[in-house]
Structure 1
C-alpha cells in the first residue's frame, strides 16, 4: 500500500520517510488531488446556504492529506533530491498548479465565498475569522476568479509554465554548484588557509577519490574560507568567477532565458488581473503596500549607507596596497584583504572564534535560549522518523509538559541539498476541536566535522543558526485556528522579524555564556572576545548594506517592468543598470547574479527581497525593548510570543507589532545599531 495514502501513524504523525519510495509520490498525489476535488464538489453543492463555517472554514480544512504529501515531496526535493526526484517534480508541478487553478477559478465555490464576504455582518466573526474571510476572498480575486473563460485558460497555462521554469531554474543552480571542483595538488597553493579548511578539503578530495590532493567547491563552508584566507589571488579569482558565473555560461544549465521568461510570464499573469507590474501585484499584500514606498525606503538607506561604504572600500584598498598589492583591488580580493584589516583593527577573526562554537554546543545554546525566553524544552527522540542520517528529531515540550512541536535539524552540505539555509514545515498548526501541533525543520549548509575536529562554526554560521531557529520558533509557537493563517503564514516583509531579531542574542554575553565554550578545554569564551565581536559588528556595515540594497534594487527592477519594457536583450546589462548606484568596484565581465538568484526566481522573494532590510528596521526597534528590560526578561518575551510569534497571520502585522511595541517602528534603532547615522 502507498504510505502517502495512509494516515501517518508514527510518533506525532511524522511521515514514515523510510517507507516512502520515489514511485509512491506521483500516483499518491494524483489520487489525493481527485479526492480533494470531490471535497470541493461537496462543498460547492451543499444545499445549505453558504455560511462562514460550511464554506470558508470548510475550504481552509480541505485537501489536508494532499497538502501533507506535497509538503513531504517538495521539502525533500530541496533537502535530499536526485535526478529521478527532479524529473518527478517537473511532472507534478503543472499537475498541482492546474489543481490549484481549478479550485481558485471554480465559479460555484467563488460564489459561495463571495456571498459570505458580502454578508459578513450576518455572521459572528472574531478578528481571526475576519482575516481568514478576507484572505480567502482576495485569494480568489488574485487568482483569476473574475476572469472570463479565455482569460482563465490563459492564466492557468501561464501558471503551469511558470511553475516548471522556476523548478528548472533551481535545478540548474544546484547542478552548477555541485559540478565545480577546484583540485589542488601543490601544497604551496594552500598558503594562508586555516588548518580546518585544509583538513576539510583533504577529506572532500579523499571522498571523491583524489587521494593526496585537496578539493574546494562552491558550497559555502568550502568557498567562503577560501575567499577569505587563500593567499593566491589567481586561485581566488578562479573560485570567484566560478561562483559568480553559475548558470551564466551559455550551456545547457544557463538560466538567462529562464530569467527573461519568468519575468515576462509573471508580468503577463498579473496583467490579466489588471495590474501594471508584478511588483504592484505582490506589494498589495505586504506591509510596504506599494513599489513607490519600497523604492523610497531603499533609496533612503542607500543615501545613508553609500558614503560609509565608499569610505570602507577606500580603507581596504589603502590597506591592501600597504600589504603589497599591486594594481587595483578586485572583487575577488575584497574578502581576503578586508578580513586581514578586520583582524588588525579588532584582533579578531573566524579562526579565533571557531573553537568556541562547536555545533552541538551552539544547538544546545539555541535550545537554552528558547527555554529561558519561552519555557521550551527540546528532547531528542530517535523513534521519530527522519529522511537522512544527518537529520536529528526532537520533541518540543512547554513548561506544563504539553507537546508543542516536532523539530528537525539538518546541518551539513551534500549533493542532494540546495545551497543556503532555510526553515520549512512538514505540518502547520491549526485547531478543529483539537490543537494539531506543527512539524518544523531547519536546513543549513554548515562546516562539517573532519577527522581531526568536530563541526566548528564561524560566527556568521552561528548567526545563521539563530536566524533559522527564529523562523522555527515562529512555526512551533503558532496558536491559530486556521492553517492558512498559522505560524509563518504572514506578510512576506514581516516573516523575517522573528528570525532577524534572534540574531541579536548572539552578540550578548548573557547568551554566549550559555554555550560558547572551547571544544577542547571547556573554557568559556573570553569576555574580551565578546567585546571584540561587539566592536567589530559594524565593520564594513556600509559595504554589506550596499550589497543587500543592490539585490533588492535589482529584484524591484525586474519585477517593476511594465508591458512596453519587457524586451530584455541582455540579462547581465539589465542587472548592471539596476545595481549601478550600488557598485563599489569596476565591472567584471562574465558574471551574473540574476541567473543564480534563487530567492527571487525560484523562491518566494520576488518583489520582496527588500523585506530583509525592512525587517531589520522592525528587529532593531523590537530588540531595543529587550535591551532595555533584559534580553531574557520574561515579561517582554511573553509579550513577543503572545503578540507576534503565536499570532501568525491572524491580524494585520502592523497591528500585532504595535501591540507588542506600543507604536509603529522607527528606523532610528537600525541606523544607530548599524553606525549609519
Structure 2
C-alpha cells in the first residue's frame, strides 16, 4: 500500500495494519510526517496571545502524532526485524530527527511560552501533574540549549546530529557482528550439551542450509548455555572470544574509533551546556543527582563482590583440578565450572530446571501475577498480522472487562533482531483530547525450538521475561493526563523499579507450583527442586555482581570528562585500578556496550539497575513483611504510586507514598548474598 498504512492505523482495534506496510513506505511517510510536525510546531510558536494550557501546552504535547506513529513502527523494525534498507534509512532518520528536536528545543518563541507557564506554575496556578509536566519541559529546554547564544546553538545542533549518527552506526555494527558470526559444529563437538540446545542449534543450521550440522551463534540464548555446558574447552574459548570481542575485530564493524569520537563530543556538549562532565549533565535529572552518589552506592558493594568472587574463583579452580584440569581457570571456564559446582552443591543443573520453564507457561505465569496484583486480564488474538509470524498479540482488560490496552510479545531470537531484551511502545497512554490506550511490546531473544516442541527457558531467561513484562505493566497501567509523563517516562534510575520488582514474583512458591510444569509429563515442579532453586538464589553472586558493577563503573569513568584516545587501553587501566579479577570480564565491554554507545539513554546511567535494585528489594520486603506477597492493600498502593503514576510526580515522593519511607539498601545486599 502507500504511506497511509504507516500513518493511518486501520488494523485490528486501532493497531497498525502491518500486512499493508512495505519497507518502501517508510521514507515517503517519514518525509510527510516530519513536514507536518514542523508545520504544527510553527503554528504553535506563531500564536501571539499569552500562552495558556489550551493554546500552547496541550497542542505542543499532542503535536507530531504522525511522526510519533511512523517512528514507533520504524524503530521497532530497526531493533526487532531489520534489514539493509532499514539500516540505511535509520542513519538518515536519526540525523533528521536530531535536527528536528534541536530546532524545537532552541526555538526562542517556544521557550518564552514555556518559561511563562513555568513562572505561573511556581506561583501555584496548576494542579500537581501539570506543574510537574511544565517543570520537566522547562528543564529539558535548558538542558538542550535553549539559553545558548546563536553560535552555541549552532554547535550543539552539529554535536547532536553527529552523536545520533554515531550511536546508530555503533548499534548496527554490533548487530552485524552478532548476525555474521557462526560456527558450524558436528555431532562429535556437542559433548555436554542438552537436547533442547542441540535441537535449536540444528534448526539454525538447517535454516542456513547446512543440514547435518549444528550452528553455534552469538545469540545470548545459544552462546550462554554453550559456555555453561559444553565439555569442549577449545570451543568454549572460541565462542567466548567471539562474544567478548564484538565490535572489536579490525573490520568494518569495529566500534573503537566511534567510542573515541562519541566521548569527545559528549565532553564538548557537557561543557557547552555548563556542566563539568557528561556524567554531571546526565545525572542532573535523576534520583542520584551526582557522580558521588553513584560511587557511594557502587563502591562498597564492589568491594564486597570482589571478596566473594575471589572465594568463588578458588572453589572453581579446585573443582577444575579435581576433575582433571591442570589449566589455570580462564574466563571461558567460569560458567562451565560454576554450573558443575551448582549441580554438586544443590543437586540440580540448568538442563533439569529448563524442563519446567516452558515459555508459554511462563507467559501465563506473568499474566496470572498481574491479574492477582492488579486485577487485569489478557486475551490472545491469533488472527492478526504483525511484523513477524512469531509475534503474538493480547488484548488487556480491566477487571470490569473494559479495554485497558494491547500487549505484544516477540520472544524468539533471529538474525534480524539485535541482542538483549527490551520493552517499548507503539503508543503510550494519556487523557488529552480523549483517552489514548497504550500499545506496549516486549522483545526477547529466546532460542526457538523445532516446530512442535515447547520453547524451554533457563531460570535467567524466565527472569528476563518477568523483567520486561514489569516494564510492560508500567506502560499498560499508566494513568496520567499528559503524554510526556506517561508510563516509563521517568528518571533512568527509577525506570527499572517496576521491572526488577516484578522479577520477585517469578520465584514465589505459589507461582512456581502452578506454572513451572514439566515439558514432557506436565507434572508441577517438585517441592524438593523448588527448595533447591531457592537455596541457590545467591550462588555465584560474586561473579554476577562483579561483571555488572564493573560495567557500571567503566561507564561512569568514560563520562567524567576524561580524554579517551584508546577505549580498550582505558578499559584495561580502569579495571586495573579497580583490581578486577582476570577470570571475569565486564558484562558489556566498551565495543559492544549498546546501552551506553548506541544512543545516550543509559550513558552515565548503567548504574541505574543497581540503584533501582535497592528500591525493588526494599519494596518486595514490604510485601514479605505482611506475610502475603499478594497483599491486596499493598498491591493497590503499588499500582497507584509505582505502576500507574508514570513521571507525574517526583520519583522519591512516589516511593515514599508507597513505602512510607525512603528505601534501605540492606534488603538488596541480603538478596544478593553479599
Q: For the superposition of Structure 1 and Structure 2, which TM-score range results when normalised by the shorter chain?
A: over 0.9
| Corresponding residue of 2:63 | 62
| Corresponding residue of 1:306 | 306
Deviation by residue 1:345-391 (Cα, 9 ceiling, x = unmatched):
00121111111111111111111111111111101123544111000
Asked if 1 retains the 8 angstrom alpha-carbon contact of 2:498 and 2:643, the reply is: yes
Q: Give 3-state SS (helix, strand or coil) of 1:407's partner.
A: strand
Shift of 1:73: 0.6
Shift of 1:447: 2.1
Asked if 2 retains the 8 angstrom alpha-carbon contact of 1:4 and 1:28, the reply is: no
Counterpart-to-counterpart distance in 2, 1:494 and 1:588: 27
| Corresponding residue of 1:674 | 672
Correspondence for 1:584 among 564, 581, 586: 581
Q: What runs of 5+ residues in structure 2 fail to find an aligned partner?
A: none
Q: Give 3-state SS (helix, strand or coil) of 2:425's partner.
A: strand
Asked if 2 retains the 8 angstrom alpha-carbon contact of 1:377 and 1:396, the reply is: yes
Q: Give 3-state SS (helix, strand or coil) of 2:442's partner.
A: strand
Asked if 2 retains the 8 angstrom alpha-carbon contact of 1:240 and 1:332, the reply is: yes
Counterpart-to-counterpart distance in 2, 1:384 and 1:159: 39
Q: Does residue 1:98 correspond to 2:95, yes or no?
A: no
Counterpart-to-counterpart distance in 1, 2:122 and 2:352: 63
Deviation by residue 1:478-529 (Cα, 9 ceiling, x = unmatched):
0011111000000000000010011111221111122111122221110111
Correspondence for 2:602 among 605, 611, 631: 605
| Corresponding residue of 1:623 | 620
Counterpart-to-counterpart distance in 2, 1:354 and 1:643: 35
Please list, as runs of the form range in 1=range in 2, the aligned pairs for 1:425-464 lying within 5 A after superposition: 425-450=425-450, 453-464=453-464
| Corresponding residue of 1:651 | 649
Q: How many residues align?
A: 670
Shift of 1:305: 2.1
Q: Give 3-state SS (helix, strand or coil) of 1:37's partner.
A: helix
- Which stretches of structure 1, 4 residues or longer, exceed 6 Å deviation after superposition? none
Counterpart-to-counterpart distance in 1, 2:145 and 2:365: 47
Shift of 1:586: 5.7
Residues 582 and 611 of structure 1, relative CA distance in 2, 3 Å threshold: farther
Shift of 1:587: 9.0
Counterpart-to-counterpart distance in 2, 1:262 and 1:600: 10
Q: Give 3-state SS (helix, strand or coil) of 1:494's partner.
A: helix
Counterpart-to-counterpart distance in 1, 2:126 and 2:90: 40
* TM-score of the aligned structures, taking structure 2 as reference length: 0.97
| Corresponding residue of 1:596 | 592
Q: Give 3-state SS (helix, strand or coil) of 1:134's partner.
A: helix
Counterpart-to-counterpart distance in 1, 2:67 and 2:164: 18
Asked if 1 retains the 8 angstrom alpha-carbon contact of 2:6 and 2:69, the reply is: no
Counterpart-to-counterpart distance in 1, 2:451 and 2:24: 37
Asked if 2 retains the 8 angstrom alpha-carbon contact of 1:427 and 1:440, the reply is: yes
| Corresponding residue of 1:413 | 413
The more displaced of 467-476 and 107-116 is 107-116
Q: What runs of 5+ residues in structure 1 fail to find an aligned partner?
A: none
Asked if 2 retains the 8 angstrom alpha-carbon contact of 1:43 and 1:58, the reply is: yes
Counterpart-to-counterpart distance in 1, 2:65 and 2:125: 26
| Corresponding residue of 1:256 | 256
| Corresponding residue of 1:509 | 509
Counterpart-to-counterpart distance in 2, 1:274 and 1:308: 41
Asked if 2 retains the 8 angstrom alpha-carbon contact of 1:469 and 1:499, the reply is: yes
| Corresponding residue of 1:2 | 3
Asked if 2 retains the 8 angstrom alpha-carbon contact of 1:104 and 1:143, the reply is: yes
Asked if 2 retains the 8 angstrom alpha-carbon contact of 1:404 and 1:476, the reply is: yes
Deviation by residue 1:253-304 (Cα, 9 ceiling, x = unmatched):
1000011111111121121111111100000010000011111211121122
Asked if 2 retains the 8 angstrom alpha-carbon contact of 1:14 and 1:385, the reply is: no
Please list, as runs of the form range in 1=range in 2, the aligned pairs for 1:565-580 lying within 5 A after superposition: 565-566=562-563, 568-580=564-576
| Corresponding residue of 1:79 | 80
Counterpart-to-counterpart distance in 2, 1:664 and 1:582: 33
Counterpart-to-counterpart distance in 1, 2:347 and 2:473: 34
Counterpart-to-counterpart distance in 1, 2:593 and 2:23: 28
Counterpart-to-counterpart distance in 2, 1:475 and 1:226: 35
CA RMSD of aligned residues (A): 1.7
* TM-score of the aligned structures, taking structure 1 as reference length: 0.96
Q: Give 3-state SS (helix, strand or coil) of 1:119's partner.
A: helix
Shift of 1:203: 1.9
The more displaced of 42-51 and 394-403 is 42-51
Q: Does residue 1:374 correspond to 2:371, yes or no?
A: no
Residues 111 and 287 of structure 1, relative CA distance in 2, 3 Å threshold: same
Shift of 1:4: 4.9
Shift of 1:122: 5.9
Shift of 1:433: 4.3
